[in-house]
A = this chain, B = another copy of it.
Amino acid sequence: MQRDIFLIGSGQTRFGEWWDKSLRSLAEEAVNIALKNAPCTALDIDMVIVANMLGEVINNQAHLGALVSNFLPHTPPALRVEAACASGSIAIHTACALLESGRADTILIVGAEKMTDINAEIISQALMSAADSEQDQPCGLTFPGIFGLIAKRYMHEYGLTRKELNAVSFMHHHYSAKNPHAQFQNAISPEEVEKSPLIADPLHMLDCSPVSDGAAACILSTKKKSSYRIAASKLANDTVSITDRVSLTSFSATQKAAKNAYEEAGITIKNISCIEHHDCFSIAAIINLEDLGFAEKGKGIEWYTKPITSSLSSVTSINASGGLKACGHPVGATGVKQLIEIGKQLESTNTRYGLAHNFGGACATCCVHILENISAPSIT
């Protein structure tokens, strides 16, 4: 990082089905909470970055940067970024560059999505715009379909069983039951996952993250300080179409972004105490932990089936928010929520480093952030 960038404020709505709220009111709710708990006023915000994927399609509202800028009395410069489900972390990455460039001192980042106003068929098609419209979409693939194929191949290559896979959503719901911002605040049994309706073999409904409404906002600053410093912000890409990949069972964009992030933060995975990763489908959770370096290939499931201890790392919590599956996945908000969650977890455990991993499509875009609690002791 070229400058010290601090997370000085954050706010989020509960994720869920908000029939009585609009995209705008959700964003405004998150912004107001973030401003209220930050050591700055609205007038200190000198830039706004909005993360959103489907505003034009679902809400007939583009130009969301300007719209959110209008929440503030001085309508500061604003833009919107989009990288499908990675939009939230891309907004943070863009904010880091703007802060490092000196073009802004304090940036408000808002991720927001309002997805439940339309029917499942339309939302499924809209989300599929994150995949390749010439190579993937014409095959009739949907994202559950893509990750179903990935799960099938993973099972074939590494012998993962359907019973083992149940553990992923079981664990995410176990956590979300304690998260007041989570869409689902109920525990589920491993057996319930497998008994839920089949969506795209071998994935069942409870393997899939839901359609959600919600917003998350954070304020990053080089001028105002806090105990939470962005230690790394790295972005990497891969082919959009899965037909162009060498492998379906690991995501090279995660591997590249993570490697570069550890290097930028000057740490190894042994220093990290908590992770929020992009479990859009249960199978992704397993692949993510392997690609991030926390498990050997084929062993990612052990983070869910065995007590959390590993010779590789000091991680004590994984997706303690409930992850995308159980906390909910309002697309543009997810990457921002992850960073906020990592901040909370570092605070509550008084540990030093946490990692947020967010991707778009079948990991065609991946962004990894490492947050440092500078007042906590280092783990080595």
Contacts and interface: CB of A to CB of B under 8 A. Distances in A.
Interface of A: 2, 22, 24, 53-57, 59-67, 69-70, 75-84, 90, 93-94, 96-103, 125-126, 128-134, 137, 235-241, 244, 360-361, 364-365
Contact of A60 (B80, B137, B237): B137
B365 A66 contact: yes
Given A63-B364, A70-B240, A79 B2 contact: no
Contact of A365 (B60, B79, B90): B79
A237 B69 contact: yes
Q: Which residue of A57, A63, A80, A238 has the most chain B CB atoms within 10 A of its CB atom?
A: A63
Work out how many copies of this chain go into the complex: 2
Contact of A240 (B67, B98, B132): B67
A81 B83 contact: no
A134 B77 CA distance: 21
18 contacts: A53-B56, A54-B62, A56-B126, A61-B133, A63-B130, A66-B84, A66-B238, A66-B365, A70-B364, A75-B237, A75-B239, A77-B236, A80-B81, A80-B83, A81-B82, A97-B97, A97-B103, A100-B103
A245 to B, nearest CB: 11
Given A77-B235, A101-B97, A70 B129 contact: no
A2 B97 contact: no
A59 B133 contact: yes
Max chain B CB contacts within 10 Å: which of A70, A77, A96, A235?
A: A77
A338 to B, nearest CB: 17
B78 A81 contact: no
Contact of A100 (B63, B83, B102): B102
The 6 closest A-B pairs by CB, nearest first: A100-B101, A77-B235, A66-B364, A62-B129, A97-B101, A63-B84
Contacts of A94: 79, 81, 94, 97-98
Nearest to A67: B240
B56 A57 contact: yes
A261 to B, nearest CB: 12
A87 to B, nearest CB: 9
Contacts of A63: 82-84, 129-131, 240, 360-361, 364-365
Contacts of A134: 22, 24
A359 B53 CA distance: 21
Given A80-B83, A81-B81, 9 more contacts: A63-B130, A63-B364, A65-B83, A65-B90, A77-B236, A79-B94, A96-B101, A97-B98, A97-B103
Nearest to A93: B79
Contact of A90 (B79, B84, B90, B133): B79
Contacts of A60: 125, 128-129, 133, 137
